[in-house]
Structure 1
Amino acid sequence: ELIDRSWEHYRRDFVDLVSVSGWILVPAILNIVALSIYPAASKIIGAGALTRTEGIGVGLYAFSTWIVAPIIGLWAFVAVVRLVRSELSGRRGGVREAMADGKRYFAPTLVVSALIFLVMLAVVAIGFAPSAILALISYALGGNTVITVLSGVAAIVGILAALVLGVRWTVHYYFAPFALLIDEVRGKETLTASRKLVEGKFWSVLLRLAVPKIVYVLIGAILMAIVGFVLSIATTALTGLNSDVQLRLTTIVTSVLSTMVAALLNPVIVSSDVMLYQSLKR
């Protein structure tokens, strides 16, 4: 049902949704420019000196990948959630308002994302800190055999605990950004609101979160594989035996294609998440 409803909404409001989600293509466009002047693979492998233009290509690619892409990605997520919220409430033509909301809610969403990151960091600490502490004690004692064995056991238990807690807390706090963007809940209260929605329904929520994403990602992967195969043949035909040019074109095509698929899939995945969030509140 969730897949059917989200797909119907996506199909009906495709133009509005993609007009917002499509902004994540901006980093891809920057990457095209960067990769077109990026140093050849042979020069990188040979550790040759870069020209000024090649240096600009390297810097632009890093800037686009590590700064522009995360900022626009978060903004697009916020804007799409707000747009879907508006559309599901019966309003139309809210694209400009959603894009403005992307700016207005950017910082609060960043704060919520940071809180979720800290929660996931706690999972890592719980899983690996005991083993690391025991390993340090063993090292300080000159390689004590018993403590070394305990450290190994603690590492195995810690990995299992981290996996279990990681999945559990990911589901528990998954809806924190939606609590902010849909119901105006702020700060750490978003974590509490998300956890309350999931309490007593963990496996049901996990299933309803995972299945639509698996279906849509598989569709995207198949689409990428088909288009990528055709483009790889075209790239090989155009470049012949020039491996540097072929690698450059292949990298550009892969970067743009993956971003285009993400721009197309993002709205339908967000729609299913918003619908699930709203159904859990009832």
Structure 2
Amino acid sequence: MKPLISVGELIDQSWDKYRANLPFFLQLSGWLVLVAILNTIALLLYPSVGAIAYHTKFTFGEVTGVALYSFANLLLSPLLGFWVFVSLAIGAKSVIDGKRMSISSVMRETQRRYFPALVVTVLVGLTLLLAQIITFGPALILGAIGLLAQNAWLLGTANILLILGLIASIILTTKWTLYYMMAPYAAILDHIKNKQALQKSRALTQGKFWAVLIRIILPKIVFLLFGILIAIVIQLVLNALIVSSTGFNLDVQQRLIALIVSVLPVLVMIFLNPLFFLSDVLLYQSLTEQSA
């Protein structure tokens, strides 16, 4: 049996392929800049701190800012984020295989695989929701009965079950998350649909809990710490420049700082996302080869 790719190999290979293909990956991940642009416009129109504090009537522009901010973060960001997820997975595989696709080809493949991958992702979400129902359901049902019957013994038992359910929920949710984490990749990379994608993911990860968990988490921690460090330095510098600028009043300063806090994480994630997906696709391929 071929050994599973090591954590060091995941980090090294992901970084090497990322550096060699950075412009390619930024063209795929860069779609998230649309969210940053809309957030920028929304925050420029957003009501000032004074207007919110004193409950003054908002202007049309301020209402537009609130609506635009909600649209960008509650609707556009999840849909566009999933598009980037699918396109980066496809692009990462093509780079890893040494057959890098053109951007237009990746976009066409993303369009074809978006909905099947979305269905599988929803199924994974429903499976994790089932874990919550299984673990918390008995306590909630018993608690409701005890409340209706005004029975202290039932309520006490329900509280005990709730504590046990919390522990069971953490264990079961973690286990099932790991089992089915590769299901969207099975849908995107191997065209496996619906329940079969979940079965494929579980077959790949069954009996390898700690080995897979470590390989999923550690590379991301390394990449994320690198991104956070850069983001903190940039934010501190920009905040210092804004605060030290004598031409800005308090409202303008707070608006600009809010703008930085909102937009900077998106820009950092545009650069970090390819590393995350390269690592995941490398692990998925290694698991597939090991199970062959």
Task: Compute the TM-score of the two structures, normalised by the length of structure 1.
Answer: 0.96
Aligned twin of 2:160: 153
Aligned twin of 1:242: 249
Aligned twin of 1:86: 94
| 2:164 is aligned with 1:184 | no
The ranges of structure 1 where at least 4 consecutive aligned residues each deviate by more than 4 angstroms after the TM superposition are: none
Deviation digits for residues 198-226 of structure 1, max 9, x if unmatched?
01111100111111011111111111111
3-state SS in 1 of match to 2:30: helix
Tell me, in whole angstroms, the C-alpha distance in 2 between the residues paired with 1:184 and 1:162: 31
- Per-residue deviation at 1:239? 6.0
Aligned counterpart for 1:205 among listed residues 183, 191, 212: 212
Q: Write the letter of the residue equivalent to 2:202.
A: R
Aligned twin of 1:34: 42
Aligned twin of 2:5: none
Q: How many residues align?
A: 281
- Per-residue deviation at 1:101? 1.9
Aligned twin of 1:10: 18
Aligned twin of 2:55: 47
Contact 2:87 2:110 in 1 (8 A): yes
Tell me, in whole angstroms, the C-alpha distance in 2 between the residues paired with 1:68 and 1:141: 46
Contact 1:86 1:94 in 2 (8 A): no
3-state SS in 2 of match to 1:185: coil
Evaluate the alpha carbon distance shift between residue 239 and residue 117 of structure 1 in structure 2; reply closer, same or farther with a 3 A threshold. Answer: farther
Structure 1: state its 5+ residue gaps.
none
Structure 2: state its 5+ residue gaps.
1-8
Q: Write the letter of the residue equivalent to 1:58.
A: V
Contact 2:113 2:188 in 1 (8 A): yes
Aligned counterpart for 1:100 among listed residues 108, 111, 120: 108
Tell me, in whole angstroms, the C-alpha distance in 2 between the residues paired with 1:260 and 1:217: 13
Tell me, in whole angstroms, the C-alpha distance in 2 between the residues paired with 1:88 and 1:163: 34
Tell me, in whole angstroms, the C-alpha distance in 2 between the residues paired with 1:83 and 1:239: 47
Aligned counterpart for 1:223 among listed residues 221, 230, 235: 230
Tell me, in whole angstroms, the C-alpha distance in 2 between the residues paired with 1:177 and 1:250: 37
Q: Kindly report which structure 2 residues correspond to 1:71-150, keeping only aligned pairs within 5 A, or say none.
A: 71-142=79-150, 144-150=151-157
Tell me, in whole angstroms, the C-alpha distance in 2 between the residues paired with 1:173 and 1:186: 13
- Per-residue deviation at 1:95? 1.9
Aligned residues: CA RMSD: 1.3
Aligned twin of 1:273: 280
Task: Compute the TM-score of the two structures, normalised by the length of structure 2.
Answer: 0.93
Tell me, in whole angstroms, the C-alpha distance in 2 between the residues paired with 1:235 and 1:103: 42
- Per-residue deviation at 1:241? 6.8
Deviation digits for residues 212-266 of structure 1, max 9, x if unmatched?
0111111111111111111110111236673221121111111221001100010
Identity of aligned residues (%): 37
Tell me, in whole angstroms, the C-alpha distance in 2 between the residues paired with 1:139 and 1:46: 42
